[in-house]
Amino acid sequence: MTAIATRQPVATAGRVRLADAVRMEWLKLKTLRSSRWLALITVAGVIGIGLAVLTYYPGHYAHMNAASKASFDPTNQGFTGMVLGQLTAGIAGVLMMTSEFSSGSIRATLAAVPRRRMLLAAKALVLAVTVLLIGEVTGLITFLIGQYVVLQSVPVHASLAQAAPLRAVLMIGAYLPLMALLGLGLGAMIRHTAGAISALVGLVFALTTIFAVLPASILHAYGRYLPMVIAENSLSAVKPDPYSLSPWAGFLLLCGYVAAALLGAAWLSRRDA
């Protein structure tokens, strides 16, 4: 070889670490219009649907029998909008991964951070923290406005000064990041937007709908393990449901589902990209 201008060798100090990958993923999430839309739909949907339900209830409450009045849970009713929120949060998680494959940006991403489990961890961290913040703030706003509305015409309402409603508000807020992480795990395993969203809808909605038409004995025995049932009857419930898991048992089971999805994604991460 002839003599050539030799370049300075690159700095050998340090290396790409999880914190670097986290900064990248945060910037990527922040610079997409679709993330802001999903956040907006989630917040507006959860608050709006909750308000609509609580505005309707007072008129209804007057005609309830004593048993229904006794089981009326104003905290839980205000979170009906989580039916929508769990979907938009889950889709945000799916897209965080599948949009990389559909657009081809995965090649640029893996060129920058070739360690795939580190990349998955970075995405999970950014997603979890962002959606947790959105979930908790949305939960608190939904609760506070909701109880104000309820108080206008019904003698029963809940307050954050009570332990059970406070726990319910914080737990249902954490339901959104759990669903987002479930979506991320499914997206990482399936790698196609349509397939991963179908799997998410299947796990969250379709299973619940199928259980609803099965004999009551089956529903009562196994329905409690469904994510949506956990959200409605365990996490956000102040008055316990006899056929449902306790709030903490439900929360831990959901964490288990999420861990399974993310472990599956980590296990499959070495496939050709």
Partner 1 sequence: MIEARGLTKRYGPVAAVDNLSFRVLPGRVTGFLGQNGSGKSTTMRLIMGLDRPDAGRATIGGRSYRDLRWPLREVGAVLDARAFHPGRTAYGHLAALAVSNQIPRRRVEEVLSQVGLADVAGRRAGKFSLGMAQRLSIAAALLGDPGVLLLDEPLNGLDPDGIRWIRGLVRSLAGQGRAVLLSSHLISELAQTAEHLVVIAHGQLLADTGLAELTSGGQSLEQAFFDLTEVGA
10 forms part of the interface with partner 1 (CB under 8 A): yes
The answer to whether 127 contacts partner 1 (rule: CB under 8 A) is: no
User: Per CB under 8 A, does 113 bind partner 1?
Assistant: yes
Q: Which stretch binds partner 1 (CB under 8 A): 6-14, 46-54, 63-71, 261-269?
A: 6-14
Place of tokens 């589902």: 257
Smaller CB distance to partner 1: residue 32 or 141?
32
Rank residues 122 and 199 by Cβ distance to partner 1 and give the closer one. Answer: 122
- Give me the least distance between CB of 252 and partner 1, in Å please: 34
**Interface pick for partner 1 out of 28, 123, 191, 224 (rule CB under 8 A):** 28
Counting contacts by CB under 8 A, is residue 4 touching partner 1?
Answer: yes
Rounded distance between C-alpha atoms, residue 32 and residue 39, angstroms? 11
Subset of 72-101 contacting partner 1 (CB under 8 A)? 99-100
In this chain, which of 63, 65, 66, 104 binds partner 1, going by CB under 8 A? 104
Told to check if 32 binds partner 1 by CB under 8 A, we report yes
- State the minimum distance, in angstroms, from the CB of residue 41 to partner 1: 16
Residue 129 interacts with partner 1 (CB under 8 A): yes or no: no
The answer for residues whose C-beta is within 8 angstroms of residue 116's C-beta and 6 or more apart is 110, 269, 270, 273
Q: Which of 56, 62, 64, 114 binds partner 1 (CB under 8 A)?
A: 114
Is there binding between residue 108 and partner 1 (CB under 8 A)? yes
Does 163 bind partner 1 (CB under 8 A)? Our answer is no
* Residue ranges binding partner 1 (CB under 8 A): 1-2, 4-7, 9-12, 14-16, 20-21, 23-24, 27-28, 31-34, 99-100, 103-108, 110-115, 270, 272-273
